[in-house]
Chain A
Amino acid sequence: MSRRLPVIAALAAVFFLAPRVSLVGTLLAQGANGRVTGSVKLTLANSAPSSAATYERRSVGPRPKPQPELHNVVIFFSDLPATRRAPMKASIAQKDEQFVPHVVAVTVGSSVAFPNEDPFFHNVFSLSRGASFNLGRYPSGSSRSRVVTRPGIIKVFCEIHSHMSAVIRVFDHPWFTSPSDEGTFAIDDVPPGEHTLVAWHERIGERRDRVTIRPGASTTINFTLPVLEPGQ
């Protein structure tokens, strides 16, 4: 009983404070800061095939339902100063021998949970510099999580199923997002000035573009990425 009290207190504080914070944010966005919107298009039309595509496709085990590649794209500002934000709670499920979603983007200090939704054991480990860890093997229905503390790219694997992988992008600022199913995105509350906006995909790396953010205004930018949709 006594251990639950601080948690309840914290939840209550968030409940009361959050509306005010967001209200302030909205005011700020309409005032000093600007907004960037745009779209991401995946195409191979005018780009060379990536070398990885030269191999024939090979799958191990049941062929899982392909996830839209648009969800694996992360849009972020690469040259904005570190700005501390509240930690997030993200989740990467292990389902059909796949990490779903394949890519998540979180802020530093966030916790990422890995619930096992398959009827067999899974494992989660990483060799990445940002977070080298191994959560061990755990059975169906259980979940383990990991708090990410350093910005960067964390590659996550399953040592039981060698074809499973996931990517966690950790940022020390809040100006990042992923495109919607339609490929549109928007980042609000961006400090004005000329910045570098990056569209990142695991297989092609980063595509950079300079954008100028004007206070109270919205800037549009479109990305075309040479990424092949699964099944295409």
Chain B
Amino acid sequence: MSAPRLLTRALVTSFLTVAIVLGAVFAVLSLRVRDQVRQAVGDNLASAQQVFTRVEARRQQDMRASVATLAENPTLKAALDTWLTERGSANEQTSGELLATVQREADKIADRVSADVLAVADGDRRIVASGGRLAASWPRGVVIGVREDASTPSDRALAVGSGMYHVVSVPLQLGEAIVGSLELGTALDAHYARELADLSRGHAAILSKGTVLASTVSGPAARDLASYKAPDTGGAHTMVLAGETWAVQPLSQLGDVTFLALASIDAAAAAGQTQAALRSLAWVGLGAIALAVLGSVWLARTLTQPIDHLSQSLAAMTTGDRPRQAVALSGTSRELDQLTTTFNSLLATVAKAEAEAEATYLGAVRALAAALDARDPYTAGHSERVSRFAVAIGEEMKLDAESRETLRLGALLHDIGKIGVPDEVLRKADALTAEEFESIKAHPSAGARILKSIPFLAPHIPIVELHHERPDGLGYPYGLRGEDIPLAARIVHVADAFDAMTSARAYRSGRIPVEAIAELRRCVGTDFDGPTVDALIAVLPRLVAAGEPVEPMVVQWAQRARSA
């Protein structure tokens, strides 16, 4: 299994990091949000409690004040006092009238106060007449509770009939004497629980001795409510109702009756803000992951590209293809740049060593070629000249630098095979015998064999081997035709022929260039390649101007050609 790519590694690392950080933030935030919701719900209930206390105190005070004023009703008092005096002994008719008067006054007062039910009671708190919304629940004759001791406050929670009421008593006085009372009842029922719930902006419950008198909580939570027990510490707390956590705030206590404000923390946490916060967090998370991915891709690219470049250069170096130029500094990181610099200097060293080795080889080859040329005084400097002519033709024919370099060395070595031709044959001024000519014709193949043993001269073999082939197929050693002959070999063939024609040879004296050119032109298509000959003609003046060691006659001709 191969190691993962740097890009993959960077991606995975950054993705994991972001995911872990986001996960942690998400978890912490969820918990914190829950805490805050709990806090907020608790605060809400606490403020509801304060509002309730104030509003309720004010309401009771107002009610008592108004009832106290209404209790100063002379007709009610007179009728009640007279009826109480005369009941039993009185005749039915008068008693009925008095009772009707009391009832009428009770109805009038009930209209003016906000109690659910109002009763006029005698000194024993037995109802004489009642009015208000729930008057039917407080019939005549029912006793409204009995007070245990004098310290009990005048408002209490009392069971009257089947219901539970918050009862406020106001005495009806005649001078110092008290003849009866006005009793104001607020039913502790669902209606009241709803009012409490509105006040606390949540839920409300009214409990007494382990039973739920009324509550706005519905379903299984309402059943669990009966098990409510006030904690010793008092104040706000939480309790679990039907698996949900609720914040509970006692609003007030009236005897055995407890008023509670409740709010479900879970419901509050599920709703609104929390979800919105978590949703925006999710968006932030997605954005962060996207950024992390982009960032790691960019980082990996800036790192991997120079590394790739370096490793390709290294690979090229080891396979033998010489890297052409130094690797550019990427500037992405100091370490990479250092590596690149080191690689470049290594490259330079290698290149230098190679160049030295080549130079050494070249020197040797040159020396060999020079030695070969020196065997025949007529051909002294021939290889150097052919080499320069060939390069000049190559330049004219727009060959690239590499091909020109090949051309230069190939031309220099083109006659290396003549090392195997005897001096007598080479220097012979007379016509050669067929046998001697065969030995001459063998020199390209001999040169190729020599070069094959030197690896870095391999590219020059075709030049050496094929520089006597002719476009018409009458050349040697293979008799190749036209385009089958490599261009480099064709160029060297033309350059060789031109130098041979313009220089003196053992077997003939050199011709002047004009004649040589005419001869070249004449033999285009048979002996010589046309474009190559044209290139040579085009390049001749330049060669002369550059002071090439062309034969004196060639120089003269060139001067003539320039002045013409």
Chain A residues at the B interface, C-beta cutoff of 8 Å? 50-60, 66, 98, 102, 125-129, 153, 155, 157-165, 202-203, 230
Contact = CB atoms under 8 A, between A and B. Distances in A.
Given A129-B91, A153-B85, A165 B98 contact: no
Given A155-B82, A165-B81, A52 B178 contact: yes
B467 interface: no
A57 B176 contact: yes
Given A127-B98, A128-B86, A202-B177, A50 B123 contact: yes
Interface residues of B, number: 33
Nearest to A97: B175
Given A157-B77, A159-B78, A230-B176, 6 more contacts: A56-B171, A58-B68, A153-B85, A155-B78, A165-B78, A165-B81
B82 A128 contact: yes
B178 A163 contact: no
A73 to B, nearest CB: 14
B147 A66 contact: no
B179 A52 contact: yes
Interface in B149-184: 150, 154, 169, 171, 173-179, 181
A203 to B, nearest CB: 6
A158 B486 CA distance: 149
Contact of B175 (A53, A54, A160, A164): A164
Contact of A162 (B72, B124, B178): B72
Contacts of B101: 127
A203 B124 CA distance: 12
B178 A157 contact: no
A128 B101 CA distance: 13
A230 B174 CA distance: 13
A126 B85 CA distance: 13
Given A127-B98, A128-B86, A153-B86, A55 B181 contact: yes
Interface in B48-105: 68, 72-75, 77-79, 81-82, 85-86, 90-91, 94, 98, 101
B125 interface: yes
A189 B512 CA distance: 201
Contacts of B173: 55, 58-60, 163
A52 B177 contact: yes
A162 B77 contact: yes
Contacts of A161: 74
The 6 closest A-B CB pairs, nearest first, are A55-B171, A162-B74, A52-B178, A157-B78, A165-B174, A129-B94
8 contacts: A55-B171, A58-B171, A98-B175, A127-B79, A127-B101, A155-B85, A162-B74, A165-B81
